[in-house]
Homo-oligomer: A and B are copies of this chain.
Amino acid sequence: MNDIPTPDAAATFTIEAQDPSGARAGILRTPRGLVETPVFMPVATQASVKALDSDDLRRLAPRAMLANSYHLYLRPGVETVALAGGLHKFMDYDAFIITDSGGFQVLSLSKLREIDDEGVTFRSHLDGSKHRLTPESVIRAQAGLGSDGWTTLDECPPYPCSEADAARALDRTMRWVDRSVPAVAIERAAGAKCLFMPLFQGGLHPALRGISAAHHNSTPAEGISIGGFMVGEEKAATWGMLGETTALLRADRPRYLMGVGTPRDLWDAIACGVDMMDCVYPTRVARSGHVMTYAGKFNVTNGRFRRDFTPLDPECSCFVCARYTKAYLGHLLRCGELAAYRLLSYHNLHYMASVIADIRRAIKEGRFRSARAEFMSRYSV
């Protein structure tokens, strides 16, 4: 495998500062420019960060985002996105876009899931149509979508799962990573530019972590996508297991923890040496009226804000806080007015970007631990 041309890892990811806790600040060189890490990536599941448009994104200016291969594969289809000139042109936003492999969505959304060593067969949650994914077809799909960060098809085991079953799923997932490597090489030879970030499984089982990490460390890749956490395990145990996992991973590759998380999760995951995260949390809770601030999360439809003519968050510099009051936004939400979903989503993503910027600054200034303690003491859920 070592003769497959890949970008030099050192040329892809530079660690600028590392805190004694394990938290690190770095720079990721991507086909779409530099991305400062740690980074929280908004989720454009179906080529749209829910309720926002590309002008909103340009104002928020995330430099990295996640899109979902499974959803885009089913609708509008890879060929349509390719004909549009790729995801960036399709959705009119230029940033590093990583696509997941669909393994998790096949597990959680589709009506049928038959896995064999070659790949997975499933029925669409939209229309029941039958589809087949293989490690190779998933790489081709990501090349067709034109995303910049590529993951690999994995067998995402259900939770809870016996160690024996997890070992079987991990074995398959690792062989699928191996099959993805030449598939990536083929796309690169055809001109595709990407960071290859194969999917990691097995982290919840101590005996499997070492196997999985060793396999990843020897796979030619620019980064690693850590799946299989936050799937239902007790959250108190997550960070311990995650820390034991990242300790086994080579330090020179960016670590992307998939599907995480809340503001507290950001600090905790980054303390474990995670560099990249994504989550629908800020936009999902926004649509039910939840506002994120440094003092914690509250629901603006609560009756006590009916005549509160102050901004959502007096510490916030976003345009929503500059223009609107809690009373107005609560009114819009009670009325089901669509504008409110956008405005709260924007504020919450602005807040997450602000938290990540704070974290990065704290790491670079060597005060991550105290900054984290200070954040936690203020943030009430």
Residues on A lying within 8 angstroms of B by beta carbon are 46-48, 50-55, 71, 75-76, 80, 83-85, 90-92, 306-307, 309, 319, 323-325, 327-328, 331-332, 334-335, 337-339, 341-343
B341 adjacent to A338 (CB under 8 Å): yes
- A92-B323, A306-B76, A338-B341 known; A328 and B84 CB under 8 Å? yes
Residue contact B331 to A75, C-beta cutoff 8 Å = yes
Smallest CB separation, A308 vs chain B (Å): 10
Which residues of B sit under 8 angstroms from A334, Cβ to Cβ? Answer: 75-76
- With A307-B83, A335-B75, A338-B341 known to touch, is A91 a contact of B328 (CB < 8 Å)? yes
Is B84 in contact with A53, judged by CB distance below 8 angstroms? no
Give bound CA distance, A343 to B55, whole Å: 11
- CB-CB under 8 A from A50, the residues of chain B are 337-339
Q: A50-B339, A51-B339 are in contact. List 6 more A-B contacts (CB 8 A).
A: A53-B323, A76-B334, A80-B327, A90-B325, A92-B323, A92-B328
A343 (CB) vs chain B CBs: closest residue? B53
12 sample A-B contacts, Cβ–Cβ < 8 Å, listed by A number: A46-B332, A46-B335, A47-B328, A50-B337, A53-B342, A76-B327, A84-B327, A85-B309, A92-B328, A338-B338, A338-B341, A342-B342
Is B339 touching A76 in the complex (CB atoms < 8 A)? no
B52:A339 contact, CB within 8 angstroms: yes
Question: Which residues does chain B contribute within 8 Å of A75, judged by CB atoms?
Answer: 331, 334-335
**Complex Cα–Cα for A328 and B83 (A):** 12
How many angstroms between the C-alpha atoms of A96 and B339 in the bound complex? 21
CB-contact partner of A331 in B46, B53, B331, under 8 A? B46
- How many copies of this protein are present in the complex? 2
Pairwise interchain contact B335-A342, C-beta atoms closer than 8 A: no
- List, in ascending order, chain B residues with CB within 8 A of A52's CB: 339
User: Do the beta carbons of B92 and A324 come within 8 Å of each other?
Assistant: yes
Q: A76 → chain B, closest Cβ, in Å?
A: 5
Inside 8 A of A92's CB, which chain B residues have their CB?
Answer: 323-324, 328
In whole angstroms, what is the CA distance A74 to B342 when docked?
24
Chain B residues whose C-beta falls within 8 Å of the C-beta of A48 in the assembled complex: 332, 335, 337, 339
Q: Which residues of B contact A83 (CB under 8 A)?
A: 307, 309
Q: A83 to B325: give the CA distance in the assembly, Å.
A: 12
Q: Select from chain B the residue with minimum beta-carbon distance to A328.
A: B90
Contact of B338 with A51 in the complex, beta carbons under 8 Å: yes
Q: How far is the CA of A337 from the CA of B332 in the complex (A)?
A: 19
Cα(A48)–Cα(B343), bound, Å: 12
B residues within 8 A CB of A331? 46-47, 75-76, 80
Chain B positions within 8 Å of A323 at CB level: 53-55, 92
For residue A84, which residues in chain B have a CB less than 8 angstroms away from its CB? 309, 325, 327-328
